[in-house]
Structure 1
């Protein structure tokens, strides 16, 4: 290969290989729409250290709901400094008997239990269930896209934190996906084997119609 062509290719590849380090950070600018790569960046000249600090995970969440649990998220839309950095966090509060219902997202997650006793698990694509009782200090990984859950089986409230490898993980909870929209009841019956009364009950709880 001609030496000039080799030099040209090397010059071309250098900026491509270092594309992720063009900027140190990209605090989200919500004045512009989000794209596949995230939000546009705010002007660094207008940022302060406070833009890189988030205090929301220090406050217990409201667990007065049907699942007796709360998931408070530090993601790009709540903590703009995470934009483009490929990570996020959440605080999970579970009352006695509380659950984080079966859900999935497009990225992997790791959980660490701070207080209490939790059964956590996920379901593999071959329908194998992987679940275990976790105590204080235990961690567990949930691979990307797989359905997973947490249940407080202790006699006191439980607290855990999770980290995800995306600033915009994308959450889909199975119950909400079925019952919080206008998907017809008879269709839900066919795809879940629930009876009409059960489907209507779920729709009433989660605001679905039809």
Structure 2
């Protein structure tokens, strides 16, 4: 009798362990979503509310304009035109997004991360130097990419691209999230609101206070 009880208990524990192992949270669609019981005070959800199917039209699945070059007349010399759930409602729940990235000669898409997506980049025109850095240990994987080349940036890792040619460059990026998010390293570190205490940055980057003050003013 006791052996039978032990067998049943073992089966129950195995079933529980299996269910726990196979259960997981859905991927987040923004940086955070603080739980709240009172929906009257809810202002943000993990995703989007759904439009009534009876009033959905073909226009909800259309985005126009990726044929138009971005404005690269800025300090970085690059510009991204993003097609995500905010600009194309039909992407909601589909788990993908797209970007057109334009680069002026020697323009750079600076080191940044996409916290919620892996990126695959296709070079359409020009020559790019592109790469990503792994988590600890920080190993760089970088290549010179030419027209027709494809490169993958794993989810959440710091990556970049730079136009190393004398002519404009163009690339298209795809993401496995309707809202990949982007955190540009320099902006996040030196341009946060409110700013990070300079003492933290001085110690972390081993920089003089005047350099930190200068960098914080730039962003």
TM-score normalised over the length of structure 1:
0.79
Is the partner of 1:63 in helix, strand or coil?
Answer: coil
Cα distance in structure 1, aligned partners of 2:180 and 2:119:
9
Alignment match of 1:41 (pick from 50, 54, 63): 50
Cα displacement (A) at 1:34: 4.2
Q: Structure 1 stretches (4+) deviating beyond 4 angstroms?
A: none
Cα displacement (A) at 1:69: 0.5
Is the partner of 2:66 in helix, strand or coil?
Answer: helix
Cα distance in structure 2, aligned partners of 1:60 and 1:195:
40
Cα distance in structure 2, aligned partners of 1:202 and 1:79:
36
Specify whether residues 88 and 34 from structure 1 end up closer, same or farther in structure 2 by C-alpha distance, changes over 3 A only.
farther
Query: Are 2:98 and 1:89 aligned?
Result: yes
Cα displacement (A) at 1:113: 0.2
Is the partner of 1:186 in helix, strand or coil?
Answer: helix
Alignment match of 2:190 (pick from 179, 185, 200): 179
What is the count of residue pairs matched by the alignment? 174
Q: Residue by residue, what CA displacement relative to the aligned partner does 1:136-180 show, whole Å, maximum 9, x if unpaired?
A: 000000111111000000110100000000001121110011111
Specify whether residues 89 and 33 from structure 1 end up closer, same or farther in structure 2 by C-alpha distance, changes over 3 A only.
farther
Structure 1 regions of 5+ residues with no counterpart? 1-31
Residue 170 of structure 2 aligns with which residue?
A: 159
Alignment of 1:25-64 (within 5 A): 33-36=43-46, 38-64=47-73
Q: Residue by residue, what CA displacement relative to the aligned partner does 1:8-37 show, whole Å, maximum 9, x if unpaired?
A: xxxxxxxxxxxxxxxxxxxxxxxx95422x
Structure 2 regions of 5+ residues with no counterpart? 1-41
Query: Are 2:218 and 1:205 aligned?
Result: yes
Cα distance in structure 1, aligned partners of 2:150 and 2:77:
22
Residue 126 of structure 2 aligns with which residue?
A: 116
Cα distance in structure 2, aligned partners of 1:46 and 1:34:
23
Cα distance in structure 2, aligned partners of 1:33 and 1:46:
24
Cα distance in structure 1, aligned partners of 2:43 and 2:87:
15
TM-score normalised over the length of structure 2:
0.76
| The 10-residue stretch of structure 1 (138-147 or 60-69) with the greater mean CA deviation from structure 2 | 60-69
